[in-house]
Structure 1
Amino acid sequence: MAILCAGEILFDFISKSLNKGLGESELFEKRPGGSPFNVAVGVAKLGADVSFLTKISQDEFGKFLFDYLKQNGVNTDCAFTVEGLKTSLAFAAVDAQGKAEYEFYRDNAADTKLELKDIENLDYEKFNVFHFGSIALIDEPTSSTLTRLFDNFVSGDLVTSFDPNIRLSLIKNRENYNSLVKSIIKKVDILKMSDDDLYYLTEKKNVEEAIMTLSVKEGAILFVTLGSQGSLVYKDGIIERVPGYKVKVVETVGCGDSFMAGILYKLKDFSKDELSNITVEELAEYADFANKCAAIVATKQGAANAMPSLSEVSQFEFLKSRFYI
């Protein structure tokens, strides 16, 4: 069975001007990106069957991204190409205080125009897991289309996965956005959040306290990424921390998406009933695998470009003392 990922597809322009912020940066490096896109590429590079659902512009950026999906083993049957629209662009830099800055250019972008008619003929039986989230939930009609698709997977008793990957600078109405995200969290089977996302949604500054105020359904699985501290697993009132790995960090763009890809790879063959019975100890093993995926990405440049293969992850323990640290 396959995984279906859905959401934005774009180009990241990453500042190469150290600690100058967006305004003063002079040099940017262009890389394929977008959280669900990165996850799809990451899952494919680990060896799983994955499709990506989106709309892709037929401008030169979009043509490259469509080919990039195919070249990296992602099924493009659900990736609709369209004329007359643009490709989303995102600029990222780190300022003098070490704070990440983002600017997004998504006016008339193809990935914001996914419509209900685009999913009318989707064959749900082909997929065992549906994963979505991130900035695709901000713009219409894509937001409503993905929400409807999510509800269809839920009603079909199929496994769902969600990573809000919140970008505050893009949110136009925080009350409506927060309500949408929280409504999804109440129904989803696999939830992945960064600690910053968790703090934002719960307005708490302690991870354990924040988790306990989050409304997840019984049997749902929550993974919280903690940067260099690793990750955390929560299920049915039980919390377990999973240590991270010390590596020589080049940059952290895409680490969370690689973690998500590792989790989906490990859980792709589980039914909803099997997921509800899985233990926190087993989930911690999968989180450790995902931590390795994220650690490898941190040693490279580029989000989708940096996603590791299964052999890289398998050799990580052996190689990390020689190459990664």
Structure 2
Amino acid sequence: MAAVRERSHILKKQGLISLGEAIVDYIALDSSNTTYERLLGGATVNVAVGISRNGIPSSYLCKLGMDETSKFVEGELKKEHVDLSFCSYEPNKNICSVYIHLNQHGERYFHSYVNETPDEWITSAELDKRLFNTSKIFYFGSGTLFHPIARNTTEQALQYAKEENLLIAFDTNIRLKRWENENQCRETILSYVQKADIVKMTEDELLFLTETDTLEKGLEQLVKMEIPFLFITKGKYGAYAIHDDMRIHVPGFVVKAVDTTGAGDAFMAALLSCFHDRGIPKNEAELTEYTEFANKAGAISATKLGSL
């Protein structure tokens, strides 16, 4: 992909589109794992909310149902001023649930993922191109790409985004349990990495995707894909930002972590807020500023319970 250039007519556009799947997290309140706190989650939801909290118009695209859980999702997103007017609705749709349990040491761990309507997704025919006419950034992740309907919708959204010259941002955000096998996951995600202007992944995801055992070896492979802006996050150790010949490491911020779920999404939302408001970083200093701001957001998000 050629280097990203600032497009003058995009400067007049405002807002981010996030495409994905809303998830409700049920987090156990004690080690009996019988009582839960219900919290809104899902990577693409987290980014949509993070963008809105930074004062940027934010639109979320997904399929919602008519039951109480969908009403909960709607209510939470509307509180965050996220626009849902371009979502689709299906009476039989059930929102996906993730159950987080506590072990005897008080540590949280993933227990189960429940999707009672696995074939209900927003379809390509339900996308409205008018939203892409006025927006500035299109963001998506890999969390739904395992399903053919979701992939088709993503392809249509990418086509609209490219036709309207939106910046395209992608988070690899790998959840292996959703995929048939590792090869399908790896090949699919790598194909989408090459369609984005801005890509974020963790160091572990880099090693998985490139089938290497060190960050340096992994970067050697990814650099060949000519991703305009690549960000590799390392948790409390900060992040790498790679653009053309620039390779910058920006240290992280030390905090007392309560729940790291969603920290990467907070990083992405902060990063995309910089791209939205300030444009393409023009030099190493600006790229460093963007990454430092994103590191700070990710660290702060880890100090409270829940992915938001």
1:245 corresponds in structure 2 to 253
- Total equivalences in the alignment: 294
Using the TM superposition, give the Cα deviation of residue 12 of structure 1 relative to its aligned residue in structure 2, in angstroms: 1.0
Structure 2 distance, partners of 1:109, 1:219, is: 32
Structure 2 distance, partners of 1:216, 1:144, is: 27
Using the TM superposition, give the Cα deviation of residue 115 of structure 1 relative to its aligned residue in structure 2, in angstroms: 0.8
Output the TM-score relative to the length of structure 1: 0.83
1:3 corresponds in structure 2 to 16
Could you give the per-residue CA deviations for residues 266-308 of structure 1, whole angstroms, max 9, x where no partner exists?
00146xxx63x7333311211111111111111111112xxxx
2:122 corresponds in structure 1 to 114
Identity %: 29
2:168 corresponds in structure 1 to 160
1:41 corresponds in structure 2 to 49
**Structure 2 residue corresponding to 1:279, chosen from 268, 279, 283:** 283
Using the TM superposition, give the Cα deviation of residue 85 of structure 1 relative to its aligned residue in structure 2, in angstroms: 1.5
Structure 2 distance, partners of 1:176, 1:66, is: 33
8 Å CA contact retained: 1:159, 1:189: yes
Using the TM superposition, give the Cα deviation of residue 156 of structure 1 relative to its aligned residue in structure 2, in angstroms: 3.7
Structure 2 distance, partners of 1:96, 1:140, is: 40
Q: Go from structure 1 to structure 2 and tell me whether the alpha carbon gap of 1:134 and 1:96 turns closer, same or farther (over 3 Å shift).
A: farther
Structure 2 distance, partners of 1:208, 1:99, is: 32
Structure 1 distance, partners of 2:244, 2:101, is: 38
* Segment of structure 1 superposing worse, 207-216 or 223-232: 207-216
Output the TM-score relative to the length of structure 2: 0.87
* Segment of structure 1 superposing worse, 121-130 or 288-297: 121-130
8 Å CA contact retained: 2:170, 2:196: yes
Task: Select the structure that is richer in helix.
Answer: 1
8 Å CA contact retained: 1:154, 1:187: no
Structure 1: stretches of 5+ with no match in the other structure:
19-23, 305-325
Structure 2 distance, partners of 1:232, 1:225, is: 6
Using the TM superposition, give the Cα deviation of residue 217 of structure 1 relative to its aligned residue in structure 2, in angstroms: 4.7
Query: Helix, strand or coil for the counterpart of 1:176?
Result: helix
The yes-or-no answer on 1:300 pairing with 2:304 is yes
Query: Helix, strand or coil for the counterpart of 2:84?
Result: coil
The yes-or-no answer on 1:230 pairing with 2:238 is yes
Task: Please show how residues 70-149 of structure 1 align to structure 2 within 5 Å.
Answer: 70-93=78-101, 100-109=109-118, 112-149=120-157
Could you give the per-residue CA deviations for residues 88-132 of structure 1, whole angstroms, max 9, x where no partner exists?
11123466897943521123158x421111015443221110000
Using the TM superposition, give the Cα deviation of residue 203 of structure 1 relative to its aligned residue in structure 2, in angstroms: 1.5
2:8 corresponds in structure 1 to none
Q: Go from structure 1 to structure 2 and tell me whether the alpha carbon gap of 1:68 and 1:127 turns closer, same or farther (over 3 Å shift).
A: same
Query: Helix, strand or coil for the counterpart of 1:263?
Result: helix
Q: Go from structure 1 to structure 2 and tell me whether the alpha carbon gap of 1:93 and 1:243 turns closer, same or farther (over 3 Å shift).
A: farther
- Once superposed, what is the RMSD of the aligned Cα atoms? 2.3
Could you give the per-residue CA deviations for residues 164-220 of structure 1, whole angstroms, max 9, x where no partner exists?
210011111433332221111112100011112111111223223212211565461
What amino acid sits opposite 1:77 in the alignment? S
Task: Please show how residues 146-225 of structure 1 align to structure 2 within 5 Å.
Answer: 146-214=154-222, 217-218=225-226, 220-225=228-233
1:31 corresponds in structure 2 to 39
* Segment of structure 1 superposing worse, 9-18 or 238-247: 9-18
* Segment of structure 1 superposing worse, 152-161 or 66-75: 152-161
Structure 2 distance, partners of 1:216, 1:151, is: 24
The yes-or-no answer on 1:55 pairing with 2:63 is yes
